[in-house]
Amino acid sequence: MAASTDRDSRGWTIVALCFLGLALTASARGTIGLVMPTWEAELGWTRGFVSFVGAMMLISVACVAPLAGNFQDRFGPRPLLVAGMLLIAIGTALTAMIESQTAFFITFGIVTALGFGFFGNHTIVPTLAWFFEKNRGLATGIATAGLTAGQLVIVPLLALLLQSSGWRVGYVYLAIAALVVAPILFFLIPGRDAIMAQSKAPQEPDAPIGQRLKFLATSPVFHALFWSFVICGFTTSGTVEVHLIPYAISCGFPPLTSATAYGVLAGVNMLGMTLSGYLTDRMNRPLLLGIIYIGRGLCFLLLMRIAGDIQMLFIFAVAFGVFDYSTVPPTASLVASHLGKRIMGLAMGLLSAGHALGGAAGAFMAGILYDLYAQYDTVWIASIGVAVAAGFMAFSIRENRQPAEPKLQPA
């Protein structure tokens, strides 16, 4: 029985490895907002250009994620996760040596972005789905909390390095950490055959990708999850992840204070994701997901009032942290139960692509509007509206915990 795998210690080892890898991945992504003002002063780059590269990074992730998810359905997660961590190591090491805009675009917008495309929720979540049934939401919440756990420690440390040794040293340290983690993943992540045997799933041939895509394209549940996840990306990785620190600095807060607030947000986010995973196993998941989206949207009302008020800055950080990435456990659980584990890699890859495209739109829109009008209020107001809309998309899904596997013709 699949639920018996909950008792296997290997499953929790996989959770720990995923947590560690995502911590490094998210920290590398989060550096762009921290270093943006320094690049403006040191290299003469505009906020719009840096935001453009951040958007292109997310677009690269969007292009890679569905391919990576489909690859995982067929060959397992180990080659993707190892390659992703190595690409992150190479990309951050090269970013430490950049002098030109072109070099930054290539190293961060392409090389590092490929690593993000290989190592992300769309490869982590399907892996955990094979190892867990009863505690799937909790395992997903703990593992994906790594997205913010690393930022809780690493982003403030990078802020200190920025003041003492410079931003280049910070990127070197990130590269070394990723290079150390890659071989650990190779030796401890099992191959696809071992994962399938561990889950005791029937060894059925893979259906053609055209049939799997058609199934997803005609599924109302997939559309509700996809478009809400696009909005999720816009309101998290696009606007807040890239622009919170620059926005706080423009409101009069020093870089270290701004980075500390971001670290508090990340710490609460880690707890929020774990709590979301726990609740995913125990309550109506569409209701939970809708509440998270609407709660996140209301947090932007706090963000618009932080100028000159350090207490409000940290109130926002705590409130937003509760709702930030806590959408991941219920979304992943709904994909597994409503769409099926055998196409979960492809489904999560497409959802991650939508998330990345939404993030790219948010990052680019915020940067351009700031260059034009020196304000972020328009983006924050837009974020409120779309987040509430995402909440009602989630409410449209009917709860059903009976596992579904699509009847697709094997290749």
For 162, the token pair is: 């920025």
pLDDT at 17: 87
Domain containing 354 — which CATH number? 1.20.1250.20
Q: How many domains does the chain have?
A: 1
In a domain, 196, yes or no: yes
Mean pLDDT of 23-38: 80
Mean pLDDT of 47-54: 81
pLDDT at 168: 86
For 234, the token pair is: 């816009």
Question: Would you say residue 5 has pLDDT above 50?
Answer: no
For the segment 101-159, what is each residue's pLDDT rounded down to a tens digit?
899 999 988 899 999 989 987 888 887 877 777 777 888 888 888 877 776 776 677 77
pLDDT at 394: 96
* CA geometry: angle 219, 222, 226, nearest 5 deg: 145
In a domain, 407, yes or no: no
pLDDT at 398: 92
Cα distances (Å, whole numbers) of residue 100 to 34, 40, 279, 285, 293 = 19, 13, 47, 47, 39
For 272, the token pair is: 């929020």
Most confident of 172-186, 210-224, 281-295, 366-380: 281-295
CA distance 313 to 225: 31
In a domain, 403, yes or no: no
Dihedral (CA of 228, 269, 39, 252) sign: positive
pLDDT at 170: 82
In a domain, 99, yes or no: yes
For the segment 171-228, what is each residue's pLDDT rounded down to a tens digit?
888 899 899 999 998 888 877 666 666 655 555 556 677 788 888 989 999 999 999 9
pLDDT at 155: 65
In a domain, 405, yes or no: no
When mean pLDDT is compared across 32-36, 196-200, 250-254, 273-277, the lowest value belongs to 196-200
Find the farthest-apart pair of alpha carbons in the chain and give their distance in angstroms, rounded: 62
For 187, the token pair is: 């030796």
With cut-offs at 50, 70 and 90, classify the pLDDT of residue 84. very high
Structural domain that includes position 333: 9-395
pLDDT at 183: 92
Contact between 326 and 292 (Cβ < 8 Å): yes
CA distance 39 to 36: 5
In a domain, 206, yes or no: yes
In a domain, 401, yes or no: no
**What is the SS3 string spanning the chain?**
CHHHHHHCHHHHHHHHHHHHHHHHHHHHHHHHHHHHHHHHHHHCCCHHHHHHHHHHHHHHHHHHHHHHHHHHHHHCCHHHHHHHHHHHHHHHHHHCCCCCHHHHHHHHHHHHHHHHHHCCHHHHHHHHHHHCCCCHHHHHHHHHCHHHHHHHHHHHHHHHHHHHCCHHHHHHHHHHHHHHHHHHHHHHCCCHHHHHHHHCCCCCCCCCHHHHHHHHHCCHHHHHHHHHHHHHHHHHHHCHHHHHHHHHHHCCCCHHHHHHHHHHHHHHHHHHHHHHHHHHCCCCHHHHHHHHHHHHHHHHHHHCCCCCCHHHHHHHHHHHHHHCCCCHHHHHHHHHHHCCHHHHHHHHHHHHHHHHHHHHHHHHHHHHHHHHHCCCHHHHHHHHHHHHHHHHHHHCCCCCCCCCCCCCCCC
CA distance 92 to 57: 13
In a domain, 329, yes or no: yes
For the segment 74-83, what is each residue's pLDDT rounded down to a tens digit?
788 888 899 9
Q: Which residue has the tokens 């996809």?
A: 226
Contact between 356 and 58 (Cβ < 8 Å): yes
